Amino acid sequence: MMAHQLQLEKEKYRQWVKAGLGLGYLKEGLVPFCNDIADQQHKDILQIIRSTKSLPSTVTCGGCQVETLKPDHKPVGSAKNRVCPLGQVKCSCCFKGKIACPNNICGAIYDYIVQHHSSSPPAPNWKSTDAQQWSTDPWSICKCFINAPGYEQKQSAGKTDCTGLLHLMINNQYFHSHIGCNVTGTNNLFSKVRQYRNNIFHSSSMELEEREANSYIDDMVAVLQDGKELLQQPDAQIAVKKLQDLKKTDFIISTESFEEILRQIKEEMGKVLKSTENFATQYDDLKKKLLELETKMSDQKKGKLENKKELEELKKTITEEKKEKLEMEIEQAKLKEKLTVLETLVSEQKEEMAKIKTQTSSDQSQTEYEQTKLGKLIFVLMVYIQVY
């Protein structure tokens, strides 16, 4: 009975590793495609802007900061009720003191990014990008479409994991014209595959049923066989062959496989930790802002503010900020739960290690047992040590 249970656990672990390796192969297949489309988009952006504004063909800019950049588009509405005509929430166009690009190019690129972000309302990730690079580096623009933390230092498609590449393909409307599959909404193939990374690397058991692992791989293959262009990409089809090989019954967990999964988990945990740090900073800033607003409201009650319209605006702002504060608290709780998963893994695997000396019987292979339970323990401990 014990030997049978160990065999089942070993097989589920193999399936989990198999799915993790699949994500790596998926990335290999997407990188050349994403690089090509990113380069095409960058050339088109610059050509359109230079042509529309009659700028020299060599004009670039390396001095603008996204935090202070003034977009080309202007807000609509009254001075106290400014709204972005492109639909972006808290758009730079609605704030005073922004600086126009001296070379007349970065403001237009800002507009282009907002207009081509597929979410509703458009929500580019300005924190991941460097506007100084927009006119010379295609990937600095692409990062605006990766709506997840942890990609600030990624300088190319090759340095970006498959989740980031899928974010780009889903959120960037320019990519849509190069993809046959409908990538709108949340139930499309590309969005499903993007979620698999969380399913795999946030698993507390490090186990998958064969049926589930094969389903993940089949969907990864379907992404790389998208009929519009990916199906004709040599690198994508080489990756398809690797993915299909994973489903063979003689698939073996090699040392290289082990190291690849370790690398991917380290990267995933790094992102979670980065998200936690970012949220902590944002949360502190928000609490400070709320305190200032509530102090202002208190002054009003003392008769220092007499403008009723200003009072209503103040009340509205406080309500919105409190709502954002609550949403951040919920997100922080989710991130904390993800980190707790790792600690739980360590605790569980320590218990399994203690059983090694007492549960190994004559009809079991010590080597086989160590490759499953002890191997998993060492694996998790290595991740734990290097991440924390």
Q: Please, which pLDDT band fits residue 6 given cuts at 50, 70 and 90? A: very low
Same domain, 111 and 212: yes
The residue among 226, 246, 266 that closes a domain is 246
Same domain, 133 and 206: yes
3-class DSSP assignment, residue 220: helix
The residue segments making up the domain with residue 327 are: 255-387
The residue among 214, 246, 278 that closes a domain is 246
pLDDT of residue 371: 46
Burial class (CB in 10 A: 0-12, 13-18, 19+), 133: middle
pTM given for the model: 0.71
- How many structural domains compose the chain? 2
Check: CB of residue 78 under 8 Å from CB of residue 123.
Answer: no
Same domain, 78 and 160: yes
Same domain, 309 and 216: no
Same domain, 59 and 187: yes
Same domain, 373 and 340: yes
Same domain, 233 and 270: no
> 11 is written with which tokens?
């097989």
Same domain, 94 and 241: yes
Q: Please, which pLDDT band fits residue 331 given cuts at 50, 70 and 90? A: low
Same domain, 224 and 323: no
Q: Is the pLDDT of residue 385 over 60?
A: no
**Can you spell out the DSSP letters for 209-270?**
-HHHHHHHHHHHHHHHT-TTTGGG-HHHHHHHHHHHHHTSTT----HHHHHHHHHHHHHHHH
> 134 is written with which tokens?
């927009």
How many Cβ atoms from other residues are within 10 Å of residue 351's Cβ? Answer: 10
pLDDT, tens only, 27-78:
999 999 999 999 999 999 999 999 999 999 999 999 999 999 999 999 998 8
The residue among 195, 226, 246 that closes a domain is 246
- Distance CA(13)–CA(200), nearest Å, equals 11
Q: Which one of 220-229, 259-268, 305-314 scores highest in mean pLDDT?
A: 220-229
